Structure 1
Amino acid sequence: MNPVIPRVSTLSPNPDRPPRWGLYGGSFDPLHCGHLLVAQAALEELALDRLFFIPAAQSPFKPGSRPAPDAARLRMLRRSLAGQSRTEVHDDELSRGGVSYSIDTVNLFNARHPGAELFWLIGADHVPTLPQWREAEALAKAVTFVVIPRPGQPPASLPSPWRLRHLRGWPLGISSSEVRDRIRRGLPFAHLVPAGAADVIASEGLYQNPSES
């Protein structure tokens, strides 16, 4: 199962409006096919001109986690997205190091590319926590949050000034923790991850150690 993200020629940017960019942050530890399906749905439903995968150095939601090395997660992303001209890997959070905060990345995008309309992809389970995020008020004004449905998670809502849009697609039923657990237990996993990620996992022996789960 290796979803193909549409190439730029299938959906041309509209010169009569600002560019519409999707920001997809996460650990991607590892990247799996569900991430690519979400990206495809966002590109199509929101008519995005570009979607950026943004791997976090350290998620503020997982303070005790020990993700795979930054370089390995970058290789999984870049190999899996090679040739997809409407997606890009943005590695500034890894370069900054430390805890990765969304507002820092949004401010960076706004400084480098003023005028772009920004859409931040977020799992439905994280929506109730948004008011507690760093500089939440500024974040609410800067981006539209695109909510990824989760199995068993009811539709989320927040009052103004939060702007939420819900992907209509299927709930995301694959998790990186499930993939890591299958690898650790020696179970088949290649059907859950794109080929580029599977190659990196196999060649570098990732997720074999229980401490990486």
Structure 2
Amino acid sequence: MIPAGNPWQKEGQLVATSGQRLEMCRLATSGNPKIEVLDIEINRSGPTYSIETVLELEKNFPAFEFSLVLGTDALKNIMTWHRVDELIKKIEVLQLLRSGEKINSADIPVGIDIKIVEGSMLDISSTLIREKVAKNADVSE
């Protein structure tokens, strides 16, 4: 799991700091040895782009294959991402459906091979996690 360092598409918006995003990821995955939180985007200066992260991962972990897990909202905007054509050739894109969410073919950009991930998942949002962290509330459930 890699929290965004300086998300270029959210410039000028009120968002959690990179340190807060890192801590939220660590809290959310604590106790799960199958998930590692990496701070490679947090440590990079300037805007962070997914393609640069993937290139760094390939260099540092050549034996691994990587996937990009996106919710429906992020998937709708993927074609606006920096060097998206290169990105989608290098990684598998997984669309994560929240509980009860239906697949809308209009939301899937043309030219991207998407795999759908559905099943029993936590019905939670990053907004809810941010609110809990701000109140020092437990986010482990």
- The TM tier, using the shorter chain, reads 0.7 to 0.9
Flag the structure with higher strand content. 1
Equivalent in the alignment of 2:94: 146
Aligned pair 1:194/2:134, yes or no?
no
Letter in 1 for 2:80: Q
Q: Partner of 2:53 in structure 1?
A: 105
* Number of the residue aligned with 2:119: 169
In 2, Cα distance between the equivalents of 1:79 and 1:179? 10
CA contact (8 A) 2:6 2:18 kept: no
Matches within 5 A, 1:21-170: 53-150=1-98, 154-155=103-104, 156-160=107-111, 162-170=112-120
Q: Kindly, what percent of the aligned residue pairs are identical?
A: 27
Which amino acid letter does the alignment assign opposite residue 158 of structure 1? Answer: P
Task: Evaluate the alpha carbon distance shift between residue 139 and residue 83 of structure 1 in structure 2; reply closer, same or farther with a 3 A threshold.
Answer: same
Unmatched segments (≥5 aa) in structure 1:
1-52, 196-213
1:3-34 CA distances to partner (integer Å, 9 max, x unpaired)? xxxxxxxxxxxxxxxxxxxxxxxxxxxxxxxx
**Is this contact kept in 2: 1:58–1:98, CA < 8 A?**
yes
TM-score where L is the length of structure 2? 0.76
Q: Distance in 1 between matches of 2:19 and 2:132?
A: 22
Q: Residue 94 of structure 1 aligns to a residue in which SS?
A: coil
Alignment partners' CA distance in 2, 1:103 and 1:138: 7
Give distance in 1, aligned partners of 2:128 and 2:32.
26
Is contact 2:4–2:21 with CA below 8 Å preserved after alignment?
Answer: no
Report the secondary structure of 2:76's partner residue. helix
CA contact (8 A) 1:124 1:153 kept: no
Task: Report the CA distance between 1:79 and its aligned residue.
Answer: 4.6
- Between structure 1 and structure 2, the one with the greater Rg is 1
Question: Which residues of structure 2 form unaligned runs of 5+?
Answer: none
* Cα drift, residue 131 of structure 1: 1.9
Separation (CA, whole Å) in 1 of partners of 2:28 and 2:128: 19
Displacement of 1:194:
1.0
Q: CA deviation at 1:83?
A: 4.3
Deviation at 1:175, TM superposition (A): 1.7
**CA RMSD, aligned part only?**
3.0
